[in-house]
């Protein structure tokens, strides 16, 4: 009896259920499940919708061995069962597909379709592609993903109804995709995406995150078409090569429901490749935007070694630059420092090197 009383005291807690859920969110699924076996209270916490608000789905491709195949089939079945029970609670979903899409087993197709039909997502993060720091060569030829894989992945976009934030950290932007396999065209064809408030295209999630130096990017026309559809957009993260005067004019348009508050520009530059030249921004385009929206600000992350004259093509005097970050691989000299601190003394709040 004394031993039973001791065990009861051990598992009894006065911690608020919100705090227990917060702690469990840091644990992997297997640890959460083992915790649910401790007592009735923990079992009830395991089935609390708030615990399943965020979920990350891991899919691995590229391998074609029998042992790996059996493992992936088993993993897909487990994911499907879990989604059946808790998928309706998912609000933030991270799709992490490591390796080439060409290696994705068809066992994952019903899992993705079930996710798209069952979840009421508010935020979707896509890490889909070939690049993985330390594991893949940047020069490796990217095979075109099979049609079935692309359609299964894009079902999350096609069936979305409540998404307010979309973060495309990695995605196979290959040219000449059919409409049902092109992520931008699928977004544009979904009328419910007018609710989207935050969009990020190939923007790194942290300063330490490596990124493909010259990835295949959607062109300026595609980005303009996308932004024209998203009338409620409040923040946009993009590569410098996607920026254009027409894009700024679109944000200054009087018919937009919400005004853009923040634009994050990730500077990608290549001297020998015209596709990666930093665009020239007409000061009049920027002035029109800042006149309509005085609260508009720009964040700029610089990864390559760029001359101040080239950078000035994009960062003109009237640019409301509030934050600039020079990453580890960039080069900063006295001329760049003097130019930035002089031009943006009224707007610059953070300078990071």
Higher pLDDT, residue 198 or 97: 198
Query: Closest by alpha carbon to 113, among 66, 72, 152, 159?
Result: 152
Angle at 324 between CA 320 and CA 325, to 5 degrees: 165
On whether residue 24 sits in a domain, the answer given is yes
Query: Both tokens of residue 171?
Result: 């995605």
Question: What pLDDT, on a 0 to 100 scale, did the predictor assign at position 6?
Answer: 52
State the residue range of the domain holding 37. 16-51
How many Å apart are CA 12 and CA 39, to the nearest integer? 9
Return d(Cα 164, Cα 96) in angstroms, integer: 20
> Residue 123: which pLDDT band, with cuts at 50, 70 and 90?
very high
pLDDT confidence of residue 187: 94
The SS3 call for residue 332 is coil
Helix (H) / strand (E) element for 266: namely strand 262-267
Exposed / middle / buried, residue 324 (Cβ in 10 Å: 0-12, 13-18, 19+): buried
With a CB cutoff of 8 Å and minimum separation 6, the contacts of 289 are 248, 249, 251, 252, 260, 296
pLDDT at 140 over 80: no
Residue 230 has pLDDT above 70, yes or no: yes
- Distance of alpha carbon 33 from alpha carbon 42, whole angstroms: 9
Window from 172-176, 247-251, 347-351 with minimum mean pLDDT: 172-176
Per residue in 39-82, pLDDT (tens digit) is 888 898 999 999 999 999 888 765 555 555 677 778 888 888 89
pTM score of the predicted model: 0.86
Q: Is the pLDDT of residue 334 over 50?
A: yes
The verdict on residue 112 lying in a domain is no
Q: Which of 232, 240, 210 is nearest to 137 (CA)?
A: 210
Strands (E), 82-143: 92-98, 123-129
Residue 71 within a domain: no
Instruction: Tell me: pLDDT of 90 over 90.
Output: yes
CA angle (128 as vertex; 124, 133 as ends), nearest 5: 120
Query: Is there a domain that residue 21 lies in?
Result: yes
Residue 33 lies in a domain: yes
Nearest to 36 by CA among 86, 77, 76, 84: 86
In the chain, % of residues over pLDDT 90: 30
Number of domains in the chain: 1
pLDDT value for 259: 85
Contact 156, 115 (CB under 8 A): yes
Structural tokens at position 115 = 């996710």
Stretch among 31-45, 102-116, 160-174 having the lowest mean pLDDT: 102-116
Of 231-240, 259-268, 306-315, give the lowest mean pLDDT range.
Answer: 306-315
The verdict on residue 44 lying in a domain is yes
Residue 121 to residue 87: CA distance in whole angstroms: 10
* Residue 46 tokens, joined: 């395991």
What average pLDDT does the structure give for the chain?
A: 82
Question: Which of 20-29, 61-70, 113-122, 241-250 has the lowest average pLDDT?
Answer: 61-70
pLDDT, tens digit (0-9, with 9 covering 90-100), for 282-304 = 888 888 888 888 899 999 998 77
Q: What is the pLDDT of residue 11?
A: 52
pLDDT digits (tens, 9 = 90+) for 233-246: 999 999 988 999 99
Phi, psi of 198 (to 5 degrees): -135, 125
Is 308 inside a domain boundary? no
- Give the model confidence (pLDDT) of 155-203 as tens digits: 999 999 899 999 998 888 877 788 888 999 999 999 999 889 999 998 8
Assigned domain for 39 exists: yes
């Amino acid at each position: 009896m004394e031993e039973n009383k001791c065990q009861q005291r051990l598992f009894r807690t006065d911690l608020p259920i919100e705090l227990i859920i917060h702690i469990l969110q840091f644990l992997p699924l297997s640890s959460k499940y083992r915790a649910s076996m401790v007592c009735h209270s923990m079992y009830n916490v395991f089935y609390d919708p708030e615990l399943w608000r965020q979920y990350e789905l891991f899919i691995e491709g590229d391998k074609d061995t029998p042992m790996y195949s059996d493992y992936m089939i088993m993993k897909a079945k487990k994911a499907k069962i879990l989604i059946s029970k808790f998928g309706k609670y998912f609000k933030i979903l991270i799709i992490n597909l490591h390796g080439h899409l060409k290696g994705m087993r068809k066992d994952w197709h019903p899992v993705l379709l079930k996710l798209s039909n069952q979840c009421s997502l508010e935020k979707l993060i896509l890490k889909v592609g070939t690049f993985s720091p330390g594991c893949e060569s940047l020069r490796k030829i990217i095979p075109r993903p099979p049609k079935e894989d692309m359609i299964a992945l894009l079902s999350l976009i096609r069936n979305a109804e409540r998404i307010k934030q979309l973060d495309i950290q990695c995605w196979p932007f290959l040219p000449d995709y059919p409409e049902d396999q092109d992520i931008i065209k699928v977004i544009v064809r979904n009328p419910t995406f007018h609710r989207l408030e935050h969009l990020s295209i190939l923007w790194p999630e942290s300063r330490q995150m490596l990124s493909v130096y010259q990835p295949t990017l959607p062109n300026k026309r595609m980005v303009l078409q996308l932004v024209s559809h998203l009338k409620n957009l409040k923040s946009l993260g993009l590569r410098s090569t996607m920026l254009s005067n027409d894009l700024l004019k679109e944000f200054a348009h009087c018919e937009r429901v919400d005004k853009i508050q923040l634009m994050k520009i990730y500077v990608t530059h290549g001297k020998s490749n015209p596709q990666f030249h930093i665009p020239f921004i007409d000061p009049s385009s920027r002035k029109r935007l800042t006149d309509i929206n005085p609260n508009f600000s720009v964040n700029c992350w610089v990864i390559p070694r760029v001359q101040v004259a080239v950078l000035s093509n994009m960062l003109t005097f009237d640019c409301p630059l509030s934050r600039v970050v020079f990453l580890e691989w960039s080069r900063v000299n006295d001329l760049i420092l003097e130019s930035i601190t002089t031009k943006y003394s009224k707007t610059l709040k953070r300078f990071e090197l």
